[in-house]
């Protein structure tokens, strides 16, 4: 039994090794474990955390994880060119490629709606951060057709900063994200931040889709037939915006 345990443990990484491998802090891994985002394996009399390498690899290959890790990172780097759109033209080209790939296996009405949602969210990033990107400009745009999932992220100013230009009394990201998805603010550039997000909401609630959208420390979850917005505060902060679109065929 002892020999078997030693062989088994050799396949695991300690919490310190895992933190270094992924590029996050040990405290972050503890929070992820508690929330179920990346579960550990407890071992020993003190219940030390260990991680299976295959679980880590699977976690890092997930399009949702890639986008979130980049959006949350305090020391970001330029993403892989396959998923990074530094300019709007590059983003539009990638969006067209996604549309073409999806249309091979998915009904055209679903293709059009999902592309419209992703395009609206991605173009919002360029519209409202032009010339004002805090660090890395552009949008991370990744997808898994097999999993019916699209991920977008930017490291821009975020919805609160943008909306405070026209609504200076806003004090929280939760208020800002609610306004962006429910109220008509202005049709004048650059004050139209959020008007497109109401369009996104109208598509999500009428189709078998769901959307997870975070800005600052506020996260919105929206799905088919939702009447009210489900907004909660998060422990992590995203200065820009992060979105995950899940979709099913009709």
186 and 216 assigned to the same domain:
yes
3-state secondary structure 59-118: HHHCHHHHHHHHHHCCCCCCCCCCCEECCHHHHHHHHHHHHHHHHCCCCHHHHHHHHHHH
Average pLDDT over residues 190-200: 70
Confidence of residue 9 (pLDDT cuts 50, 70, 90): very low
Which of the listed residues 40, 61, 82 is the one where a domain comes to its end? 61
56 and 102 assigned to the same domain:
no
Q: Tokens for 41?
A: 């394996």
* Helix/strand/coil for 128: coil
Q: Which domain holds residue 9?
A: 2-61
Residue 56's pLDDT is 81
What pTM was computed for the model? Answer: 0.77
Phi, psi of 158 (to 5 degrees): 90, 160
164 and 225 assigned to the same domain:
yes
Q: Using the 8-state DSSP alphabet, how is residue 66 labeled?
A: H
115 and 236 assigned to the same domain:
yes
62-116 tens-digit pLDDT: 888 889 989 998 888 898 888 899 999 999 999 999 999 899 888 999 999 999 9
168 and 92 assigned to the same domain:
yes
**How many independent structural domains does the chain possess?**
2
């Amino acid at each position: 039994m002892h020999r078997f345990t030693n062989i088994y443990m050799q396949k695991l990484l300690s919490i310190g090794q895992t933190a270094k491998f992924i590029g996050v802090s040990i405290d972050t891994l503890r929070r992820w474990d508690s929330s179920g985002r990346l579960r550990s394996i407890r071992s020993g009399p003190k219940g030390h955390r260990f991680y299976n390498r295959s679980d880590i690899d699977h976690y890092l290959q997930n399009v949702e994880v890639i986008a979130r890790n980049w959006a949350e990172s305090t020391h970001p780097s330029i993403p892989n060119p396959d998923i990074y759109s530094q300019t709007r033209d590059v983003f539009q080209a990638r969006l067209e490629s996604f549309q073409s790939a999806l249309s091979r296996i998915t009904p055209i009405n679903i293709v059009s709606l999902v592309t419209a949602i992703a395009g609206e969210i991605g173009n919002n990033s360029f519209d409202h951060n032009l010339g004002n990107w805090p660090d890395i400009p552009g949008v991370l745009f990744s997808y898994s057709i097999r999993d019916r999932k699209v991920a977008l992220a930017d490291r821009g100013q975020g919805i609160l900063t943008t909306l405070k230009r026209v609504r200076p009394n806003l004090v929280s990201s939760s208020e800002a994200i609610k306004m962006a998805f429910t109220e008509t603010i202005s049709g004048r550039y650059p004050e139209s931040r959020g008007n497109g997000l109401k369009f996104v909401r109208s598509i999500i609630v009428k189709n078998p889709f769901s959307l997870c959208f975070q800005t600052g420390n506020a996260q919105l979850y929206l799905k088919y037939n939702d009447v009210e917005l489900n907004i909660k505060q998060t422990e992590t902060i995203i200065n820009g915006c992060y979105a995950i679109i899940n979709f099913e065929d009709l």
